[in-house]
């Protein structure tokens, strides 16, 4: 109950909870689910969910309603909060929204790497097969090896090298190139040996691919990227249909302590409302930019500056030999990140400074377009690589920005060469 001033004096306004709305049927489209899947949690007349910051919650006032911890059943009802390291209204709402979008129950964490660490703690694999990709994942795996003696195998290791309970860690699309791997093939390889398939689908957010459909046992997202989509929150997500996994992960999260903060959870809910429209726009713009750049390298008119600066463009849409399975795995478009390999390190280092719309920063998935000389954050990467995350700007403006950047870069290069190598005197 709250108070309101009016011409008749101060009145009490009742905020009696309305009956909870039922969840929309799963037959609704993702864009509808992203707005209504949490309707069941509404307990007030607010259209926009409130930000709950409390860390602790009152027990029932009636002593007869108090249930000792040893007698409590799990999972708890979605509104039965005790302490925010276990559950909280905002993170529960976020997980409720994510579940139909990911097609599986899920658990949220304070970051993508926190989610990955939690999974390895939960599974305790003796061996992990992993390829090139995000360097942070390799850092988490190095800690796991230090703690448990876990062996690290190559992603293309022989199937016989795997055993029951081992993990195949597949990143697809992969960081930083945006190229894709066949999930079904790796699922068959892992399952034939009793191993599990983990798919890091950060670069292929909901709407572009569903790894569980192709055999993944668990899907991870660094929700900081596309799920958050505004470069203003840290978040990690694990989703799985395997019996007891999500319940077990949620229980262990209580003691790992890697829960999302209330503000981050609230920002995540806000972001998911527009996930589909954001990702569709970013994916489409990325595809057009990749096609334009690839065409320039293949000899299209006006591409001289691009050909002088760029060695290669890398992206899933250019994997012509893989289209038979790739179009099935990603039927609605490819990831909004691609990479360009410059002719040399110097060109890669300087191109970001020639651009106006692309901001030179790490991370990806936000509404703004980013370019990163990847050597700034990955010590083992080829120093000629630039990673590009396409935002919501119009793709033609981004194309023109890149075109001007290449021109300025090559003109600067030619001027420097002329200065250092003056013509011989007659």
Identify which of 203, 213, 276 has the alpha carbon closest to the alpha carbon of residue 239.
Answer: 213
| CATH code of the domain occupying 275-413 | 3.90.1150.10
Mean pLDDT of 109-116: 98
Per-residue pLDDT tens for 303-340? Answer: 899 999 999 999 999 999 999 999 999 999 999 999 99
Residue-wise pLDDT tens digits, 250-307: 999 999 999 999 999 999 999 999 999 999 999 999 999 999 999 999 998 888 999 9
Q: How far apart are CA 263 and CA 256, in angstroms?
A: 20
What's the pTM? Answer: 0.90
Q: Where in the chain is the domain with CATH 3.90.1150.10?
A: 275-413
Tens of pLDDT, residues 399-424: 999 999 999 999 998 888 777 776 66
Residue 144 has pLDDT above 60, yes or no: yes
Nearest to 120 by CA among 202, 235, 223, 236: 236
- The CATH classification number of 33-40+78-272 equals 3.40.640.10
The pLDDT score that the predictor gives to residue 16 is: 36
| Numbered ranges of CATH 3.40.640.10 in the chain | 33-40+78-272
């Amino acid at each position: 109950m709250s108070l309101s001033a009016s011409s008749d004096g101060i009145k009490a306004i009742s905020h009696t909870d309305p009956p909870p709305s039922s969840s929309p049927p799963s037959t609704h489209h993702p864009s509808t689910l992203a707005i209504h899947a949490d309707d069941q949690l509404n307990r007030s007349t607010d259209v926009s969910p409130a930000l709950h910051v409390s860390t602790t919650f009152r027990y029932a006032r009636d002593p007869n309603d108090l249930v000792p911890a040893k007698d409590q059943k799990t999972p708890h009802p979605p509104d039965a909060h005790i302490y925010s390291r276990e559950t909280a209204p905002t993170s529960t709402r976020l997980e409720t929204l994510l579940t139909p979008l990911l097609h599986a129950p899920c658990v949220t964490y304070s970051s993508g790497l926190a989610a990955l660490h939690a999974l390895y703690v939960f599974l305790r694999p003796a061996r992990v097969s992993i390829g090139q990709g995000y360097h942070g994942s390799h850092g988490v795996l190095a800690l796991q090896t230090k703690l448990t003696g876990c062996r690290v195998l190559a992603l293309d290791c022989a199937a016989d090298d795997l055993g029951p309970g081992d993990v195949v860690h597949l990143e697809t699309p992969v960081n930083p190139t945006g190229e894709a791997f066949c999930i079904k093939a790796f699922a068959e390889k892992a399952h034939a040996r009793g191993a599990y398939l983990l798919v890091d689908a950060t670069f292929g957010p909901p709407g572009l691919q569903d790894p569980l459909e192709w055999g993944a046992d668990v899907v991870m997202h660094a929700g900081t990227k596309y799920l958050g989509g505004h470069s203003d929150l840290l978040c990690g997500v694990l989703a799985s249909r395997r019996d007891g996994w999500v319940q077990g992960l949620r229980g262990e999260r209580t003691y790992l302590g890697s829960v999302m903060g209330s503000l981050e959870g609230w920002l995540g809910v806000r972001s998911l409302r527009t996930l589909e429209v954001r990702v569709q726009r970013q994916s489409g713009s990325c595809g057009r930019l990749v096609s334009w750049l690839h065409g320039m390298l293949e000899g299209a008119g006006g591409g001289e500056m691009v050909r002088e600066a760029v060695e290669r463009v890398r992206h899933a849409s250019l994997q012509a030999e893989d289209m038979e399975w790739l179009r099935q795995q990603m039927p609605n478009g490819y990831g909004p990140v691609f990479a360009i390999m410059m002719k040399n390190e110097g060109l890669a280092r300087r191109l970001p400074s020639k651009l106006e719309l692309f901001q030179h920063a790490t991370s990806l998935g936000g509404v703004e377009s980013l370019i990163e000389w990847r050597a700034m954050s990955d010590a083992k990467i080829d120093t000629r690589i630039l990673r590009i995350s396409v935002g919501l700007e119009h793709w033609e403006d981004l194309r023109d920005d890149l075109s001007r950047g290449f021109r300025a870069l090559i003109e600067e290069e030619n001027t420097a060469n002329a200065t250092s190598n003056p013509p011989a005197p007659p």
